[in-house]
């Protein structure tokens, strides 16, 4: 049995979907997966489902949702000899799974491996590993699942890790001289994150190295206008310096390769408090 949360929330067994439909049951499953292999207090689940206004029947209703979820999991299992997955504890519940069964935990393992490979000066291996990590995403984290305060915060953190993986993969590809190949992805990223200066910087540099100086300058002008109108800010010094390099068309500055600065502070655990 496998679980996905990097996109739609699904329970999969041999390519067969066994996912519950009820929104509240999906919320319970989502939070259990986000805290996989860690006890989840009943009070936390109640707050996620009803925030600060739980009904008097909250405990009983939650027990019903757990019962429904347990039945879904039992129907998905092929053998009754398998260890119990959803375990009841004195104060709450525990979803017990192998890390390889949850796509988010596999993603975090691959992200960590890719980061270490890049730090070791192995951009080719790093690019492949990070590409494998990013391929696990099929859409926004926990798409179609109602979000309370805890699910929302976990989902935001996973989305940030996705951005970090994209950044590292782009750095690795730049070291390999794959500027032209990265232009399409970078264009998509600057459309998705229109105020992200780092992605714009990489796109401008890639366009310049590909001999498309007019497009590089247009990208800078578009970002400068967006920053001014939205935030009242000018582009960073790095971007302004790059802009001057493009204007001067300095072959040395546009083709210079630098060892990437790799962030070491990215979170690595779905189950963090």
- In the CATH hierarchy, which top-level class contains the domain 2-97? mainly alpha
What is the per-residue pLDDT for 81?
A: 59
What is the per-residue pLDDT for 76?
A: 78
**Beta carbons of 40 and 93 less than 8 angstroms apart:** yes
How many residues are there in the chain? Answer: 273
What is the per-residue pLDDT for 258?
A: 45
Q: Helix or strand or coil: residue 13?
A: strand
What is the per-residue pLDDT for 78?
A: 55
Distance CA 204, CA 202 (A): 6
* CATH code of the region 178-256: 1.25.40.10
User: Burial, 190: exposed, middle or buried (Cβ in 10 Å; 0-12, 13-18, 19+)?
Assistant: buried
Q: How many other C-beta atoms lie within 10 A of the C-beta of residue 211? A: 12
| 95-115 as b/e: b if 16+ CB within 10 A | bebeeebbbbbbbbebbebbb
Distance CA 19, CA 98 (A): 19
Strand partners, 87: 94
What is the per-residue pLDDT for 260?
A: 47
Of the candidates 163, 170, 155, the one whose C-alpha atom is nearest the C-alpha of residue 6 is 155
What is the per-residue pLDDT for 131?
A: 97
What is the per-residue pLDDT for 201?
A: 96
DSSP 83: P
What is the per-residue pLDDT for 8?
A: 95
**Beta carbons of 54 and 46 less than 8 angstroms apart:** yes
User: Are both 2-97 and 178-256 of the same fold?
Assistant: no
Walk across the sheet containing 40-41 and list its strands. 40-41, 92-95, 86-88
What is the per-residue pLDDT for 28?
A: 96
pTM assigned to the model: 0.85
Compute φ and ψ for 259, nearest 5 degrees. Answer: -65, 130
* pLDDT string in tens for the chain (273-residue length): 899 999 999 999 887 888 999 999 999 999 999 999 999 999 999 999 999 899 999 999 999 999 999 999 888 775 555 678 999 988 899 999 999 999 999 999 999 999 999 999 999 999 999 999 999 999 999 999 999 899 999 999 999 999 999 999 999 999 999 989 999 999 999 999 999 999 999 999 999 999 999 999 999 999 999 999 999 999 999 999 999 999 986 544 444 444 444 454 544 445 543
| Domain regions of the chain by residue span | 2-97, 178-256
**Beta carbons of 111 and 133 less than 8 angstroms apart:** yes
Of the candidates 54, 7, 271, 10, the one whose C-alpha atom is nearest the C-alpha of residue 148 is 54
Handedness of CA 93, 97, 103, 104 (dihedral sign): positive
Distance CA 200, CA 54 (A): 45
């Amino acid at each position: 049995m496998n679980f996905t949360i990097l996109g739609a929330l699904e329970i999969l067994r041999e390519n067969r979907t066994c996912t519950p439909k009820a929104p509240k049951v999906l919320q319970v499953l989502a939070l259990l997966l986000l805290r996989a292999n860690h006890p989840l207090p009943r009070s936390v689940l109640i707050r996620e489902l009803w925030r600060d206004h739980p009904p008097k029947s909250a405990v009983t209703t939650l027990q019903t949702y757990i019962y429904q979820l347990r039945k879904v999991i039992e129907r998905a299992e092929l053998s009754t000899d398998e260890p119990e997955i959803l375990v009841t504890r004195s104060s709450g519940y525990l979803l017990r799974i192998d890390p390889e069964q949850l796509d988010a935990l596999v993603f975090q393992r691959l992200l960590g491996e890719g980061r270490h490979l890049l730090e070791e000066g192995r951009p080719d291996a790093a690019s492949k590993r990070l590409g494998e990590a990013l391929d696990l995403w099929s859409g926004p984290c926990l798409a179609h699942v109602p979000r309370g305060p805890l699910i929302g915060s976990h989902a935001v953190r996973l989305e940030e890790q996705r951005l970090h993986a994209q950044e590292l993969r782009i750095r690795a590809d730049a070291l390999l001289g794959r500027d032209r190949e990265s232009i399409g992805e970078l264009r998509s990223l600057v459309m998705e994150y229109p105020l992200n200066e780092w992605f714009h910087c990489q796109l401008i540099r890639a366009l310049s190295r590909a001999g498309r100086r007019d497009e590089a300058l247009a990208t800078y002008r578009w970002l400068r206008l967006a920053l001014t109108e939205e935030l009242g800010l000018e582009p960073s010094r790095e971007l302004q310096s790059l802009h001057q390099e493009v204007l001067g068309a300095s072959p040395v500055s546009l083709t210079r390769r630098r060892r990437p600065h790799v962030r070491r502070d990215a979170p690595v655990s779905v189950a963090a408090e």
